[in-house]
Structure 1
Amino acid sequence: MHSNSKKRGIPLPVAHLTLLAALLAVSLAGCGGQQSPPASGLTPSGGNTSVKPVEAPASPITGLPIMNPGSPVAVSIDNYPKARPESGLSDADIVYEALTEGGITRYLAIFYSRAPSTVGPVRSARPYFALLAKEWGAVFAHCGGDPKDVEPIREYNVVDADEFKHGDLYWRDDSREAPHNLYTSVESLRKVTSTPLPGPAK
């Protein structure tokens, strides 16, 4: 007869403890490696090191950021059909439209927050445009005008950037028909003066 000798193995509870100990050792070994770098913009302590961009000051006219600060500029701009499309109007802080003659209107664009490199076509002065330029303390850009229309510029003591006096600030676009082809830039006109924008009326 064969003797039924019992096989002696590791008791079940001890086997479970041994397996858990091995898994724990592997886990601890993994934690002992290099730590992941902190997320971008955060210090190891969790502080935020990101730099906030400096906000541009707001225009007192529109409330939008001032992208090209400088002296205000007022430009008499043509609105005759042959002058279209005009240049620079979308960058103006304010655009006035006034009836001139023959049912034709003309614009006065006030530039303060932005300084487009091409503005026009520039046309002649009107007395009411000179008065508006005076109210804004702006350089008044125009191309001559009837004596009765130019006189108020001197009367109101407006900073005059007449093309007849400052021809170097203007140019003609030969691809367009005269007189609807005279242009200038805000930065060029700002060289005429450093008049600051007037404060709110008291």
Structure 2
Amino acid sequence: METIEYRKKIDEAYNTDQSVLFRWKQTENFLEPKELLNAGLDIGERTALTKRLEDLYNINFDSTNIDLDIEPLNGEYDIITSFEVLEHLFNPLFNLIEIKRVLKPNGVLYISTPLYKPRIIKSPYHFHEFSEDELMNLIKRADFLVKRKKIIKVRPFWHYFLGIRPMLRAKYERVILLELSVE
């Protein structure tokens, strides 16, 4: 199977996964309408959520296709989103500092990331899973201010009654949504 075909299969599975759609809906509900925006950036690869962001804010969103641990971002943006990206980066502080550099004054950054889970249910694809305090320290080191935050469950309530591991997930599987601005 070629890389492009493989990527399409992954995207198809991701964009139709019920837990992903559940998180996206909660994320959309967290976002606040903003006026007079000219440029948006969605950190990471383009997803169905990127299109929904464009519809919500009535602007085009660029997306990144670079190594976010070492490569600089380009452009200037009124709004930047980084949904479930930080945990995949070796150096999330570098990425936050880069985001701050390209975020316009009075711009807004929305991020989401899973909170820490015990090893038995931790994702093998995450370099980091932060506690809430660790994440707040990281954000402070990058000179962002937290305007709003919300902790959400990852799956619908009924999912957590499907076995022992899902019951563990009921307690630990949470995502934090943040609205940030520059100090």
Check whether TM > 0.5.
no
Larger relative helix fraction: 2
Q: Considering only CA atoms, is the larger Rg found in Structure 1 or Structure 2?
A: 1
Normalization by structure 2: what TM-score? 0.28
